[in-house]
Amino acid sequence: MSQESKELAAKAQKFSAKRLGDMVMNNMLIIIMVVAAVGIAIYKPGFVSPSSLVNILSLTAAYLPAALGIAGCIVLTGTDLSAGRCVGLTACVSASLLQSVEASNKMWPGIGTLPVPVVILVAMGIGALVGAFNGFFVGKFKLHPFIVTLGTQLILYTLLLLYVQMGNNGGNTIGNLAESYTSFVRDPLFSIPAANGASIPVPRYVLYSIILAVLMWFIWNKTTFGKNMFALGSNEEAARVSGVNVLLTTILVFALAGAMYGWTGFIEGARVAANNANTGLNYELDAIAACVIGGVSFVGGIGKISGIVIGVIMLRLIFVGLTFTGVDTNYQYLIKGGIILFACALDMRKYLVKK
């Protein structure tokens, strides 16, 4: 081999090693996730049993819609702190409107049990309204969403506290839900027969979350609104100059997020089936963490639906993994915090390399 070609070969090898390193770094989270999963599975084989995988799937489905909503706000370089309280309010409203007729402490005895689709519209409507309110203040007065949604979060908490005191409820936990509601959310979509003769039900809300994820993917990637959202998140001035209606887009992004919280509230209302003023507390933090882990950047204009799904799975894997291994709960926060930091650092690293 000539000297020249040797040099070329060395260069090529170096190049590919660097590329390999980049690839490893860019997918580091997934690699860690897989390694951790394999480790837990060796320690506790039950972790990868069909019933456990279905459980991780269901938990992911339960927490996905809120993350899908909040991601839009993050793409606009913002955030949304009102998500948790919004979930709490809509969960309590949904549950109170769908209590069974025989419930001993039925909150609104006069209304019977409303049809489920009506309540879905009410919950998502309330959420969208709250979101539009947020978006209006962000878009119109150029306030940072952190401030606006901090305010809304507090306002919503008052509404929530007042709401659970209304009717016959008196601040109690709202339960005793109608059959139509719980079966709509929790009934098995289909059951997987397990090796030992039992069957593993996959709840219906898993299907709804998949539909929502597809719908959001379509909105983000195939509609003018989605393109406007990313344009606005990348560079507001450029977006404005090229004719994007900044105020309207902002309001719509937040309203869409709000509708997702409303949906989450509706699902949580029946999934947990015990709702009070505590419901939804800190949901926004998990949702934001999932987005960040999934590569939705706080820099703005960057994010993928698939990333969000991975982020939510990741957080649920941590939860399930720690429960399975029986790790001291004191360390759960450390692990969660470490992963969020690590994910953000990786994310910024990509951004710095581009510069």
Partner 1 sequence: MKKGLALVLALVMALSLVACGSGNNGGGNNNGGNGGNGGNNGGDGGSAGGDGMNISVLYYNYSDAFISNVRNEMDAKWAEMGITANNQDGQTNAGTQLDQVNTAIANGAQALVVNAVEASADETTQAIVDAAKNANIPVIFFNREVSDDVVNSYELAAFVGTDPAEAGHMQGELIGNYLVENYDAVDLNGDGVISYVMFKGQENNPEAEMRTQYSVEDANAILTENGHPELSYYDSSAATQYLVDPNGSWSSAAAQDYMTTVLSAYSEANGNMVELVIANNDDMGLGAITALQTAGYNNGEGSTVIPVFTVDGLQGIVDAINAGNATGAVGQSATGLAEAVATLLQNYQETGDLMSNTEGMIVDEACAKIRVPYTTVS
What gap in Å lies between CA 43 and CA 62, rounded to an integer?
Answer: 27
In the list 25, 37, 55, 350, the residue contacting partner 1 (rule: CB under 8 A) is 55
Q: Is 194 in the site for partner 1 (CB under 8 A)?
A: yes
Neighbour count for residue 247 (Cβ, 10 Å)? 13
Q: Where are the beta strands (DSSP E) in the chain?
A: 188-193, 199-203
152 touches 132 (CB < 8 A): no
Stretch that binds partner 1, among 65-73, 153-161, 337-345, 346-354 (CB under 8 A): 153-161
Cβ 199 to partner 1 shortest distance, Å: 9
Q: Please tell me whether residue 347 binds partner 1 under the rule CB under 8 A.
A: no
Check: CB of residue 16 under 8 Å from CB of residue 9.
no
Shortest separation between residue 253's beta carbon and partner 1, angstroms: 15
214: contact with partner 1 by CB under 8 A: no
Q: Which residues within the stretch 79-118 sit at the binding site for partner 1 (CB under 8 A)?
A: 103-105
**Surface-to-core class of residue 137, CB atoms within 10 Å of its CB (0-12 exposed, 13-18 middle, 19+ buried):** buried
Cβ distance to partner 1 smaller for residue 25 or 159 = 159
In the complex, minimum distance from the CB of residue 78 to partner 1, in angstroms, rounded to a whole number: 18
Q: Should residue 263 be labelled a site residue for partner 1 when binding is judged by CB under 8 A?
A: no
Of 69-77, 193-201, 235-243, 257-265, the segment contacting partner 1 by CB under 8 A is 193-201
Question: Residue 208 interacts with partner 1 (CB under 8 A)?
Answer: no
Q: Closest approach of Cβ 269 to partner 1, in Å?
A: 11
Residue 156 vs 302, nearer CB to partner 1: 156
Interaction of residue 293 with partner 1, rule CB under 8 A: no
Q: Which long-range contacts link 146-151 to residues 24+ away (Cβ below 8 Å)?
A: 146/78, 146/79, 146/81, 149/79, 149/80, 149/81, 149/82, 149/83, 150/81, 150/82
Choice between 319 and 342, CB closer to partner 1: 319
In the chain, count H helices and then E strands. Answer: 14, 2
Write out the two tokens for 253.
Answer: 């992004």
Q: Quote the CA–CA distance of 337 and 321 in Å, as a whole number.
A: 15
Question: How far is residue 252's CA from residue 217's CA, in Å, rounded to a whole number?
Answer: 16
Which DSSP letter does residue 277 get?
T
Assess 278 for contact with partner 1 (CB under 8 A).
Answer: yes
201 touches partner 1 (CB under 8 A): yes
Q: DSSP for 86-130?
A: HHHHHHHHHHHHTB-TT-TT-S-GGG----HHHHHHHHHHHHHHH
39 near partner 1, rule: CB under 8 A: no
Measured CA angle at 210 (ends 83, 54), to 5 deg: 100
By CB under 8 A, tell whether 143 contacts partner 1: no
| Binding span for partner 1 by CB under 8 A among 30-38, 216-224, 329-337, 344-352 | 329-337
Angle between helices 305-325 and 28-43 (to 10 degrees): 30
Query: With contact defined as beta carbons under 8 Å apart, do 253 and 59 qualify?
Result: no
In the complex with partner 1, which residue's Cβ is closer, 113 or 176?
176
Stretch that binds partner 1, among 72-80, 164-172, 305-313, 337-345 (CB under 8 A): 164-172
Asked whether position 243 contacts partner 1 by CB under 8 A, the answer is no
Options 66, 116, 133, 296; binder of partner 1; rule CB under 8 A: 133
334 binds partner 1 (CB under 8 A): no
CA Rg value for the chain: 23
Assess 186 for contact with partner 1 (CB under 8 A).
Answer: yes
State the residues that interact with partner 1 by CB under 8 A.
44, 46-47, 49, 51-52, 54-55, 58-59, 103-105, 129, 132-133, 136, 140, 155, 158-166, 170-173, 175-176, 186, 194, 196-198, 201, 203, 247, 251, 268, 271-279, 281-282, 319-320, 323-324, 326-330, 332-333
